[in-house]
Amino acid sequence: MNTAASQASRIHPLPVTAPIEARIEQAIRSAQTYLLGRQDPNGYWFAELIGDSTLESDVVMLMHFLGRVDENKQRRLLKFVLSQQNPDGGWSIYHGSPSDPNATLKAYFALRLAGYTDEDPRLQRARRRILELGGIEACNSYSKFYLALFGQYDWTKLPAMIPEIALLPPLRWGFNLYRISSWTRAIIVPMLIIYALRPRVEIPFSVRDLAVPFEPRSPKGLRKKLWHAIFRFADRLLGFYNRLDIKQVRDRAIRAAQAWMIERMMKPGGLAAIYPPMVNTIIALKALGYPPDSPEMRKALRDLEELQIADDGIMRVQPCFSALWDTAWAVNILARSGLARSDAVQRGADWLLSKQIFTGGDWQVNCPGVEPAAWAFEFDNPVYPDTDDTCTVLMALHFAGRQHEPGFAKAVRWLEAMQNPDGGWGAFDRNIDWKALENIPWADHNALLDPSTVDFTGRIIETFGYLGRTEADPVVSRAVQFLRRSQEPDGSWFGRWGVNYIYGTWQVLVGLRAVGVDMKADWVRRAADWLRSVQNADGGWGESCRSYDDPLFKGRGPSTPSQTAWGLMGLIAAGGTLDDAPVRRAVEHLLLTQRIVGGWDETEHTGTGFPRVFYLIYTLYRDYFPLLALQFVRETLRKSPNRPAGA
């Protein structure tokens, strides 16, 4: 890795007076060399995935719940937490955001558990900020749930999460575990157990005085108000049922939830291979009486510990691993940029093929009768493959010349089967879009469902376009119609999994171009016009996560390498060339901001976990997306602008 980086440092950028075509070639070679230097000897790419300080705060709380506090680890975790405190005393959920009540409460509570007192000026500021933000009642139900474990919130005030939910049959109508998103399913099943058993750890202080009166935001619109009232009434009924304590049914429900959880958490990667279910699994195992040395507890703790990164006296926690995702993009982009036959790309393709999942998963409940043949996001997550990783791997294999591998056609058929009735694709399941369920009181993490999204749909039809399909194909045609219906009035598209409208608009435009849609059509040109309208004065693009909360921030923010790359690729997909001023300015921005070693710098959160709740920094986005964008530009110099960009 260091050798490659030193090689990249010798590829010095040409002066700005040099022809721009030569400067682009030089920048591509430098970026390629830098990215090649990041490859693991086993063939994959893997970089840190960064969330926010709630992860580190949660680990501290978990250690105290278990009664097994590693003082050195706690000190390093809290050193990082304190480094993230805002001047106003609170903590943010993305770079530059206003202080968030959940992040601030969790940080404050973790510090108090570790022995910090309110005499500390940092905690004084934190406490004051929590109260200014609305106190405990301004936080979501998950934060209150964790407080209840320490006797700091009443279980009876929490939304009813009875374990009997685990007994409901997996029908395609009515409510059951398979009518909600896979990540929510994995998060709440352990919580159902915890809610029923209600474990409690005594602590020598109280934060109950932070529960000040707070008026939650009321739903807007008659339909939303009606559903909100219905589910609030249902919650009260479930609370009444819970107090009946029908032991025979309750015991059977706990056993069902326990069996569901154990079956999945013992798979490689842990339960759903993401942080929140991992933490909840450990708490549930403790509540169920599993000893520390049991195989289940040891594996659960090991899965969580693997996400922790020690770095220069501090410790950070990743929400999950992004290895397969990073590898798929790296192989894809390096292959497109002229290295398809290189050993590095072929070893990456081999590793991707070794990770294809041919076993069943939760997705089969809503998509039965389809042969498993997909990919997941992480190193290992066999129960939860997803459509986005699958199509991105297929793109990578296609450009690497590996489309004739036995599992390739099977994966294409799997993607086709996962298409929703509305023509789009969700992430992990088919047809998880019963919007009324968003009014469930414990659904305040803003991600209960897994509906069709334009970013996934755009990327999937892009993949199909590279495989020779056009708008005449019924699967593609339904997808294009979904994208047309989903377009915003100003021409942009919402980005569910990347920030935000720049991300969604880029991916849709590239997808439309790949399947032969008329890029001069008015509805397509409006999207390109929108991208041009939000380009920054420095030639780049940037968008704050705040755009999920406030439309005034739509397409607005400091320029970042990843978002500049997305905006640039969107314009090129819409027919832009280097002769167009917005395209040239964007290219100049990327060339001027490239580091001497070949990569770029980026500190903003440009990935989305749960809009308005949890955001991500993919630390390779800053490097491989600008390389892909420059390759798009190079292609416009080499062939007719009527050819699909990237084809």
Topology given in CATH for the domain delimited by 1-37+453-647:
Glycosyltransferase (1.50.10)
**pLDDT at site 367:** 97
**pLDDT at site 232:** 85
DSSP state of 309: E
What CA–CA distance (Å, rounded) separates 37 from 33?
6
Q: If one looks up domain 50-317 in CATH, what number appears? A: 1.50.10.20
**pLDDT at site 174:** 84
**pLDDT at site 11:** 63
What CA–CA distance (Å, rounded) separates 417 from 431?
11
Give the residue numbers marked as catalytic. Answer: 388
DSSP-derived 3-state class of residue 184: helix
* Pairing state between β 614-618 and 49-50: antiparallel
Cα atoms found within 13 Å of the Cα of residue 247, Cβ hemisphere only? 0
Boundaries of every domain in the chain:
1-37+453-647, 50-317, 322-418
Fold agreement between 1-37+453-647 and 50-317: yes
First to last CA, the chain: 30
Residue 245, phi-psi category: left (phi > 0), alpha (psi -120 to 50), beta (remainder)? left
**pLDDT at site 4:** 40
What are the mean pLDDT values of the chain's consecutive 10-residue runs (647 residues total)? 42 80 96 98 97 98 98 98 98 96 98 97 98 96 97 95 94 90 97 97 96 80 82 85 89 98 97 97 98 98 97 95 98 98 98 98 97 98 98 98 96 98 98 92 87 98 98 98 98 97 99 98 98 98 97 96 99 96 98 96 97 97 98 84 42
Can you give the pTM of this predicted structure?
0.94
**pLDDT at site 15:** 81
Nearest to 572 by CA among 638, 487, 481: 638
Whole-angstrom CA distances from 366 to 166, 181, 433, 616 are 17, 11, 12, 29
DSSP-derived 3-state class of residue 610: strand
Residue 360: CB atoms within 10 Å:
14
**pLDDT at site 173:** 82
Residue pair 465/514 in contact (Cβ under 8 Å)? The answer is yes
Q: Is 640 exposed, middle or buried (0-12, 13-18, 19+ CB in 10 A)?
A: exposed
Whole-angstrom CA distances from 30 to 24, 597, 598, 601 are 10, 7, 5, 15
